[in-house]
Copies of this chain bind each other. A is one copy, B any other.
């Protein structure tokens, strides 16, 4: 049967896994919630070759309906579910890295699950299969790595349930993980996502063909319930706008498919098709088991609990969320980032602006955008100079800022742009470095330099960061675009033991004159080069304004460097910098 929807499907249909390998572990396997299996089989596929010092291994973890076939092994092979990311020359480069993807414990595509034979009874486990947790899945994968001779992973990566596994890896086996890439995931499901899972399981378990999970010897399986569960899942993987874009045009013209389900609307025929196709490749008991594992996954409800949960981790992190993902919210990814940041761990985070919904981590056009971040996070197979961005000379102002920071000091750069300043600081032997930026291209550029960078709106303050967590917080040429700079100053003074602020002076002689003599909104080079009605700026302070505000806050101004950048000279403190300097660089702190 030809597939009327395949062109736009995120996840391919299940085919025989011709490259599946299996390894059997015969020792009893103790599970986290008290169950025990007499032994486990792990089904997996590998791509590329392990290098001599076994330092180039990347473990890919799949989502609830995925399997080990992450990518094609050759041109004739079936499509994989993450071909966009994994393959020769791709972000996860199988020419240079050894990629492993294992079917999860509890699954039905090669690893031990409810449909496997229980040696004690000689029949399938069915409902007697013990409760599986994400941690159990990870423990089996650890056994697989031992079997493959991989002591330490260059990186572990996954989206959704795969992201849960990646985070469990980083905290459960911290010594074995170099980098953790957690996409479209969270420390625990929202109540809404949990509720959808409950309804899906109810649909399966109330199907009369379910027989309390013992249906393997019956002529029929709970296909109806499983198909309904899958339909529901599909809705939650797409964004509302994405569904509209796809199904609004021909709403009343369903595809002609053979189905017992309703197929009155185009979206209905799509769901029926997806549901029916799924039952051909998935086992209902596995679906119940794996969705329950997701629901039970819990790395904390509160910030404090999450900080505690991430305590063991020592790796570098990449966290990616998708703006239209309503199943795993971007705010949940930010919670992960906040917990890691509170632990002083190096994190890069971005929220990809996309209409793809939760499926964003699978969709090629989105993968093409975050792929560079994955590549940067995994790093080269052989150690070498970090990043591939050429260093360019610093601006006069940035040069001044660098000179104010001592080697070894940790620095948070707010509005870090392409990371040039941070890179210069690293060259001088800085301590821990972190950038904050909102522009996608700048985030990628910073990450490609091998520097951690967070996609975060400074208008929301700095809730991700603990008190005194950096030696220096820098805010360079960004102040004028912040709505509540007074609030951000408070936050900077809280987070940094010292802050360096550079900004353009709106009372600079030339600007003042435009107002005073011509009665018109001033324009100048740099931050104030925009027309008054079309500028990203919203605050227009003078040096005196900013210094007044800081003084009113009780902050100490340790040093002021005043520059006339156009003339290329320093303005002395007694030479009226508020009139003669176009730029100020202030060093401040909360206490004297």
Using a CB–CB cutoff of 8 Å, the interface residues on chain A facing chain B are 190-192, 194-196, 198-199, 201-203, 205-206, 208, 224, 228, 231-232, 235, 238, 240, 243-244, 246-248, 251, 260-262, 264-265, 267-268, 271-272, 295, 301, 326, 329, 484-486, 506-507, 512, 515-516, 518-521, 531-534, 538-545, 548-549, 578-579
B532–A544 CB distance below 8 A: no
- Contacts of A519 on B, CB cut-off 8 Å? 507, 512, 542-544, 578-579
- Contacts of A540 on B, CB cut-off 8 Å? 521, 532, 540
B206–A228 CB distance below 8 A: yes
- Contacts of A548 on B, CB cut-off 8 Å? 520
- Contacts of A195 on B, CB cut-off 8 Å? 231, 235, 243, 247, 267-268, 271
Cα A201 to Cα B260 in complex, Å, equals 12
B516–A192 CB distance below 8 A: no
A208–B208 CB distance below 8 A: yes
- Contacts of A243 on B, CB cut-off 8 Å? 190-192, 195
A485–B533 CB distance below 8 A: yes
- Given A228-B199, A243-B190, A515-B512, the answer on whether A539 and B549 have CB atoms closer than 8 Å is no
A532–B521 CB distance below 8 A: no
Cα A543 to Cα B519 in complex, Å, equals 8
- Contacts of A532 on B, CB cut-off 8 Å? 539-541, 545
Closest CB-CB distance, A472 to chain B, in whole Å?
22
Cα A138 to Cα B198 in complex, Å, equals 37
Closest residue of B by beta carbon distance from A508: B519
B231–A206 CB distance below 8 A: no
Task: Taking A196-B235, A203-B228 as given, write out 12 further A-B residue pairs in contact, using a Cβ cutoff of 8 Å, ordered by the A residue number.
Answer: A191-B243, A191-B251, A198-B271, A206-B224, A206-B260, A228-B228, A248-B301, A326-B326, A507-B520, A515-B516, A519-B543, A533-B549
Of the candidates B203, B235, B326, the one whose C-beta lies within 8 Å of that of A240 is B326
Closest residue of B by beta carbon distance from A327: B240
- Contacts of A520 on B, CB cut-off 8 Å? 507, 542, 544-545, 548
Cα A579 to Cα B520 in complex, Å, equals 10
Closest CB-CB distance, A133 to chain B, in whole Å?
14
- Contacts of A260 on B, CB cut-off 8 Å? 206
B542–A533 CB distance below 8 A: no
Q: 7 closest A-B pairs (Cβ-Cβ)?
A: A516-B516, A507-B519, A538-B538, A191-B243, A191-B247, A198-B268, A519-B578
Closest residue of B by beta carbon distance from A229: B199
Cα A228 to Cα B232 in complex, Å, equals 12
- Contacts of A534 on B, CB cut-off 8 Å? 484, 486
Cα A196 to Cα B200 in complex, Å, equals 12
Closest residue of B by beta carbon distance from A292: B264
A232–B231 CB distance below 8 A: no
Cα A533 to Cα B547 in complex, Å, equals 12
A539–B545 CB distance below 8 A: no
B541–A521 CB distance below 8 A: yes
- Given A240-B326, A540-B540, the answer on whether A199 and B235 have CB atoms closer than 8 Å is yes
- Contacts of A192 on B, CB cut-off 8 Å? 235, 238, 240, 243-244
